[in-house]
Structure formats: structure tokens, C-alpha cells
């Protein structure tokens, strides 16, 4: 080949490689841009879509549809449902702000049709919307959504009550539009890209597995701990690469390696966390801890129980320790509240349920509360000599912030180091088990690592005394 032809071929090859590198960079930039746009555009369960169905809907063959709206379902119900689907979750105060203008329009149209003038019409303020009005609209919306595998469920915002505000069953109640599909995690798959969905799964594992053990049930994490989850574990990645190389040809292994989860950049993780907080899936406390909101717990409850528990849902009388637990008083899923002093006991109580729960428990002359399951002393008590004994045991964020280790590090301006040190001290890896189902173990199996640690500590102390 002439020298000029060789130079021309070499130049064409180098140009092709640079074009391919530039194309890959453009694809990555476009993917990150699409990911950021997808987060906020899909904040609600309906993606902002509408629902306009009348009572005389026709199927394709001309026969009446089997989906019949409830009696009395009118435009005000449609407007309320549209607003509900846009929010995803509503408190009573938010529902008052939504219902007041809807009712004003409905009553105004009715007054105009009856011949009344606008001067005679009295507009309703948000404070005048009663709980009975809200319940009526929610019941009609539930009936309309039932054939579509959607439901409206409610629970108490446990963190709003734990933060110190006075408890009111209506003020702290949250109504959430949830999917009743058999695979609830498919809802998140619609809202997020595969890489971000993989990060969310790692986040759930950290909340309900890594930071949720018999010794300490944190069920929350800091921003620094979330950044450590940006990429999948290296051991898992090596195993998957080895399996691909052994089980498939070179072409199939290359395709699997290209599709393998490569993780997220730290900037993308921070943006995703802020987006999850903004959409109402995560809550961020004043101390900087991230935890699932009431909306996320209601939406993902079937998935969480199936993934992290060994026994069916609602096992408040289970004899073995479970990662997903329910309040012994209200029977709602609990991630923030009070726990028994015995590490393997399963009794849990919300802060707002504690007083009512102990009223239902018969007590003798002793004023000290005792756990009805294991008979361990509960909380603080004042002795006859005026000395206060005992302490409260928490689950959630306060399980970390109430410890001396965290308080010391916080005074030094390094609270994240306090969390890491606390986890290394109180969470032996043998007690955390594996991911998901099958990692829980029985009561004796979970308590064994703590017995071994206590035995080793006693041996070290004995050796020190002998020296």
C-alpha cells in the first residue's frame, strides 16, 4: 500500500474512534439530562393525567362498560380527585385548601341555577371545611378508583407527632393514593430510570436491613451514608462478571457488562435525594436524617413485608424478631416510636399510642410499666426514695441521637462520624443477616452475637484484673 494511502487509512481510523468516544459522552449526558427531567415530571401517581369517565361509558363492542361511578359523583368529585392525584398525599389542612374552592364553585353554580344573586352567596373559607365533608369525598373517590386497582389509605404521620407537636388524630392524619397492584414496586419502576431504581433498592436495604437490627433500629441514614450507596458493592460486581464469563459467550458477556449497574455520580445521588424529598417519598429531619414518609410506607408496605420479613404481615404476636413491625396499639406500620428494652422483643408503640395502650393494660400496686410480652421494665420510673430509674428505648432517628456517642461527635462538629462509630459498635455483621427474606433468623440466633460479645468483654476484663 502506498504511504499516502496508509496515512489516509490511519487518519480515518483515528477519526472513527474519536467520533465513537464523542458519541458515548453525548449519550451519557443525554441520559443524565433525561433522568433529571423524569424525576419531577412524574411526581404524582397519575403523572398529572386526568380521568374523565361518565356513567354511560361504552366499550368497543357497543355494550355498556362494567365500570359504574358511585351515585352522586359529579364535577366537584372529579376536581377533588384530580387535585388528589396531583398531590399524591394530603393532610387534613391541605384537603381543606383543596375542597374550599371546589365547594364554593359547586355551591355558586347551584345558587345561580336557583335564581340567587352573587351578593347573597356566602363563600366558604378553608377552616369551614369539616372532617365529615372530607370523608364523604374520599369515600366517593375510593369507590371510583377501586376498579382501576387504586385505593386511598390513611395513616398517622408518626414523625410529625414524634417531633413534639400535640397529637390530634385529624391534624396528623395523611391520606395517600396507592396502587393495589400485586407488584407495588412496579410503581417506582415507572417513575425512575433503571440506575436510579437500583439505587433506591440499595437505599431500602440500608434502611430496613443494615441500619435495622435487634440492638438498634435506626431505620434512617445520613447524606454521607447515602453517598456510600451510589455504586453497588464491588464483590457483587465481580461475581456477576465471573458468572457472565462462564455462562455465556464473549458477545453475550459483553452485552451483560454494558447493561450492568454502574452506579450513580455523587451529584446525581444528591439531586435524587432532593427530588425524593420534594415528591414526598423521603423526609429529611432537622438533624439531616433521611427516612421513608407515610406516603412511601403505605405505598410500599406489601413489598417491604414480603422482602424483609419471614412471617406474614401484621404479625404483632410473632415470637421471632422481624424487620418490619407494627404498633401494638394502632396496628399501623411503625418506623419511629418506642420499643421494649429487650433487644429481641417485638413490642413497639408509637409516641401518640403509648398513653392509650397502657390504659388498656391491667396493673397491680406497682406503678412501673412492664412489657406485656417479656415482662421487662418499660421506660422511666420514680422509686420510693425519689430516684428515677430506667430509660426510654427508641426506634428511628432518636435511637441514634439519644446516645452519648452521637452527642459527643455532634459537639465536635462531626455528627456523621458519630453515626458511623455507633453502627460499628452496636451492629455486629452477624446480627444483620442477609438481604431480604431469610436474613431475620430466630430469637436465639439473633441474640447469640450479643451474648458472645458480652462473654468476650468479660474475659478481657478478667484478664486485666489478673495482670
Instruction: With respect to residue 292, please indicate whether it lies within any of the assigned structural domains.
Output: no
Q: Check: CB of residue 254 under 8 Å from CB of residue 222.
A: no
Residues 79 and 180 in one domain: yes
Residue spans of the chain under pLDDT 50: 29, 34, 37-38, 40-65, 165, 237-258, 313-318, 365, 428-454, 456-457, 460, 463-467
Instruction: With respect to residue 332, please indicate whether it lies within any of the assigned structural domains.
Output: no
Q: Check: CB of residue 224 under 8 Å from CB of residue 211.
A: no
Instruction: With respect to residue 120, please indicate whether it lies within any of the assigned structural domains.
Output: yes
DSSP class of 127? G
For residue 370, the model assigns a pLDDT of 86
- Residue 42 in 3-state DSSP? coil
DSSP class of 210? I
Residues 243 and 150 in one domain: no
Determine the Cα–Cα distance for residues 206 and 224; give it in Å rounded to an integer: 13
**Residue that finishes a domain, picked among 118, 152, 186:** 186
**Residue that finishes a domain, picked among 264, 283, 306:** 264
> pTM score, two decimals?
0.71
For residue 107, the model assigns a pLDDT of 87
Determine the Cα–Cα distance for residues 213 and 201; give it in Å rounded to an integer: 18
* CATH code for the domain of 162: 3.90.1150.220
For residue 69, the model assigns a pLDDT of 86
- According to DSSP, the residues that pair with 154 across neighbouring strands are 175
Determine the Cα–Cα distance for residues 165 and 159; give it in Å rounded to an integer: 10
Q: Which residues contact 408 (CB under 8 A, 6 or more apart)?
A: 418
Residues 178 and 245 in one domain: no
Instruction: Count the domains in the chain.
Output: 2
Instruction: With respect to residue 288, please indicate whether it lies within any of the assigned structural domains.
Output: no
Burial degree of 349 (CB within 10 A; 0-12, 13-18, 19+)? buried
For residue 183, the model assigns a pLDDT of 66
For residue 59, the model assigns a pLDDT of 43
Instruction: With respect to residue 99, please indicate whether it lies within any of the assigned structural domains.
Output: yes
For residue 362, the model assigns a pLDDT of 66
**Residue that finishes a domain, picked among 264, 284, 318:** 264
Instruction: With respect to residue 354, please indicate whether it lies within any of the assigned structural domains.
Output: no
Residues 180 and 109 in one domain: yes
Residue written as grid cell 374550599: 100
pLDDT in tens, 125-177: 999 999 999 999 999 999 999 888 899 999 998 877 655 545 556 678 899 99
Residues 86 and 144 in one domain: yes
Residues 247 and 165 in one domain: no
Residues 182 and 241 in one domain: no
Domain coverage including residue 103 = 75-186
Instruction: With respect to residue 138, please indicate whether it lies within any of the assigned structural domains.
Output: yes
pLDDT in tens, 1-30: 555 555 555 555 555 555 555 555 555 545
Instruction: With respect to residue 445, please indicate whether it lies within any of the assigned structural domains.
Output: no
Amino acid at each position: 500500500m502506498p504511504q499516502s494511502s496508509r496515512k489516509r487509512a490511519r487518519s480515518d481510523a483515528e477519526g472513527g474512534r474519536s467520533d465513537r468516544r464523542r458519541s458515548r459522552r453525548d449519550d451519557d449526558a443525554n441520559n443524565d439530562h433525561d433522568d433529571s427531567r423524569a424525576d419531577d415530571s412524574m411526581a404524582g401517581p397519575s403523572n398529572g393525567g386526568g380521568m374523565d369517565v361518565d356513567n354511560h361509558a361504552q366499550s368497543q363492542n357497543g355494550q355498556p362498560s362494567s365500570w359504574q361511578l358511585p351515585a352522586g359523583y359529579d364535577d366537584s368529585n372529579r376536581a377533588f380527585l384530580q387535585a388528589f392525584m396531583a398531590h399524591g398525599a394530603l393532610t387534613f389542612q391541605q384537603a381543606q385548601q383543596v375542597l374550599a374552592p371546589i365547594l364554593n364553585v359547586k355551591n355558586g353554580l347551584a345558587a345561580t341555577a336557583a335564581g340567587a344573586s352573587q351578593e347573597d352567596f356566602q363563600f366558604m373559607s378553608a377552616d369551614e371545611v369539616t372532617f365529615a365533608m372530607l370523608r364523604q369525598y374520599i369515600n366517593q373517590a375510593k369507590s371510583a378508583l377501586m376498579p382501576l386497582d387504586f385505593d386511598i389509605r390513611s395513616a398517622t404521620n408518626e414523625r410529625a407527632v414524634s417531633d413534639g407537636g400535640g397529637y390530634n388524630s385529624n391534624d396528623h392524619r395523611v391520606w395517600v393514593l396507592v396502587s393495589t397492584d400485586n407488584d407495588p414496586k412496579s410503581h417506582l419502576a415507572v417513575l425512575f430510570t433503571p440506575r436510579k431504581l437500583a439505587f433506591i433498592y440499595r437505599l431500602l436495604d440500608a434502611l430496613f436491613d443494615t441500619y435495622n437490627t435487634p440492638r438498634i433500629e435506626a431505620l434512617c441514614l445520613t447524606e454521607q451514608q447515602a453517598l456510600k450507596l451510589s455504586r453497588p458493592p464491588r464483590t457483587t460486581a465481580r461475581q456477576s462478571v465471573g458468572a457472565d464469563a462462564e455462562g455465556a459467550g464473549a458477545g453475550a458477556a459483553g452485552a451483560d457488562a454494558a447493561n450492568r449497574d454502574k452506579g450513580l455520580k455523587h451529584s446525581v445521588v444528591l439531586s435524587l435525594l432532593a427530588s425524593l424529598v420534594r415528591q414526598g417519598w423521603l423526609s429529611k429531619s432537622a438533624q439531616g436524617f433521611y427516612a421513608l414518609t407515610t406516603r412511601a410506607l403505605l405505598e410500599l408496605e406489601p413489598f417491604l413485608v414480603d422482602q424483609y420479613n419471614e412471617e406474614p404481615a401484621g404479625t404483632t404476636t410473632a415470637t421471632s424478631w422481624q424487620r418490619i413491625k407494627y404498633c401494638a396499639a394502632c396496628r399501623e406500620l411503625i418506623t419511629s416510636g418506642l420499643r421494649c428494652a429487650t433487644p429481641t422483643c417485638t413490642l413497639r408503640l408509637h409516641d401518640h399510642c403509648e398513653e392509650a395502650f397502657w390504659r388498656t393494660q391491667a396493673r397491680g400496686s406497682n406503678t412501673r410499666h412492664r412489657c406485656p410480652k417479656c415482662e421487662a421494665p418499660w421506660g422511666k420510673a420514680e422509686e420510693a426514695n425519689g430516684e428515677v430509674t430506667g430509660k426510654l428505648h427508641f426506634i428511628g432517628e432518636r435511637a441514634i441521637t439519644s446516645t452519648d456517642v452521637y452527642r459527643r461527635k455532634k459537639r465536635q462538629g462531626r455528627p456523621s462520624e458519630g453515626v458511623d462509630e455507633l453502627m460499628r459498635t452496636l451492629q455486629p455483621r452477624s446480627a444483620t443477616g442477609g438481604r431480604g427474606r431469610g436474613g431475620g433468623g430466630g430469637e436465639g440466633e439473633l441474640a447469640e452475637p450479643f451474648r458472645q460479645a458480652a462473654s468476650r468483654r468479660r474475659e478481657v476484663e478478667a484478664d486485666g484484673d489478673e495482670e
